[in-house]
Amino acid sequence: MQRYFIEEGNWHGDQLVITGDDFHHIVNVMRMDAGEEILCNHPNGNVAHCTILNVEDGQVTAEVAEWLDSKTESPISVTIAQGLPKGDKWEFILQKSTELGASRIITYQAERSVVKWDAKKVNKKIGRWEKIVKEASEQAHRNQIPSVDGVLSFSALLEESQTYDWKFFAYEEEARDQKSNKLHDYFSQIREGDRVFFCIGPEGGFSEKEAGQLKAASFHPVRLGPRILRTETAPLYVLSSLSYYFEEMR
C-alpha cells in the first residue's frame, strides 16, 4: 500500500489533508479516488491505515481507519557524519543510509574533501536532499524521515557531537591493528535509546590533525572489518551492523 509522510499541521483529529507533491502522486500517478486506502505517517512516528474521503482541486481529504503497531525504527538513534565526498556519492549515501535506518545524516567539509561547497550551492541543493530521504523513507516503509544537515565545518561538527552518548570515527589505521578495540566491544555497551554519532572521512580519509581533534573530543577510533572500505561503503557497514546487532540479534 502507498505510504505518505504528512506534516503535523495537516492532521486535524482523525482527519488529514494531503496537498502538494503527495496530492499529485495520489491523484495523477496512482489515480486513486474516494474509498481507496493509503498509509499515512504522522511526524511523531506513528502510522495509520487511512481511507480517502474526498478528492478536490489540489487537496485530498482522508480519515484514519486504524493506527498500526509498526516497528521499523531502530531502538538506537544513529547519526552518520560523512566527509563531503566527490560527485553524486553524497546523494547515494543519503538514500542508502535512510534505507538502513539512520536518524540523522550530516555532511561536513573535511580537510581532504576534494570538493568545496559554499552556502549558496548548499541552499540550492537542500530541497533535493530532503526529497531523496523522504522518498527513501517511503520506499523502506520507515515511520520517521531522517533529518539532513550540511555542509558543516569541522569545528561545527565537533560542536554538534557534544550531546551524543557514543562517538566513533572509522579510522583506516585501526583496520591494520589487530590489537585495537573491536566495534563489538563498544556496541555491546550501547543501551536502547542511546544516541550514536558516527563520523566517516572523505575519500582520502582523515588528516592526522582531524584524527587528533576527534580523539580529543572523546571519539573512539574503530575499524569496520579487516578490509579497506570506500568512503561511501563505510556508513552502510555501520548501519547494517547496528541493525543486525540491535534489531536481529536481541
Please give the size of the binding site for a second copy, defined by CB under 8 A: 33
To the nearest 10 degrees (0 to 180), the angle between helices 89-99 and 119-139 is 30
**Is residue 226 at the binding interface for a second copy, with CB under 8 A as the rule?**
yes
Q: Which stretch binds a second copy (CB under 8 A): 43-51, 78-86, 192-200, 237-245?
A: 237-245
**Is residue 31 at the binding interface for a second copy, with CB under 8 A as the rule?**
no
Helix (H, G, I), strand (E, B) or coil at 197: strand
Output 59 or 243, the one with its CB closest to a second copy.
243
Q: Which stretch binds a second copy (CB under 8 A): 42-50, 58-66, 99-107, 146-154?
A: 99-107
| Helix (H), strand (E) at residue 185 | helix 183-187
Q: How far is the CB of 93 from a second copy (least distance, A)?
A: 12
Output 42 or 142, the one with its CB closest to a second copy.
142
C-alpha cell read off for 130: 530532503
Block residue for cell numbers 570506500:
230
Q: Let me know: does 174 contact 221? Beta carbons within 8 Å.
A: yes
Answer for which of 12, 31, 71, 179 binds a second copy (CB under 8 A) is 71
Q: In what order do the strands lie in the sheet with 3-5?
A: 3-5, 37-41, 47-56, 59-68, 15-18, 11-12
Q: DSSP code of 246?
A: I
Output 65 or 228, the one with its CB closest to a second copy.
228
What are residue 128's phi and psi, to 5 degrees?
-65, -40
Q: Distance of CA 13 to CAs 8, 62, 170, 243, Å?
A: 11, 11, 45, 34
Answer for which of 183, 190, 200, 214 binds a second copy (CB under 8 A) is 183
Answer for which of 166, 198, 229, 231 binds a second copy (CB under 8 A) is 229
**Is residue 180 at the binding interface for a second copy, with CB under 8 A as the rule?**
no
Q: How far is the CB of 17 from a second copy (least distance, A)?
A: 27
Judged by CB under 8 A, the chain residues 137 through 156 that form the site for a second copy are: 139-142
Output 91 or 247, the one with its CB closest to a second copy.
247
Q: Let me know: does 148 contact 190? Beta carbons within 8 Å.
A: no
Output 118 or 248, the one with its CB closest to a second copy.
248
Q: How far is the CB of 83 from a second copy (least distance, A)?
A: 17
Helix (H, G, I), strand (E, B) or coil at 238: helix
Q: Let me know: does 222 contact 171? Beta carbons within 8 Å.
A: yes
Which spans of this chain sit near a second copy (rule: CB under 8 A)?
A: 71-72, 96, 99-101, 139-142, 178, 182-184, 223-230, 233, 236-237, 240-241, 243-245, 247-249
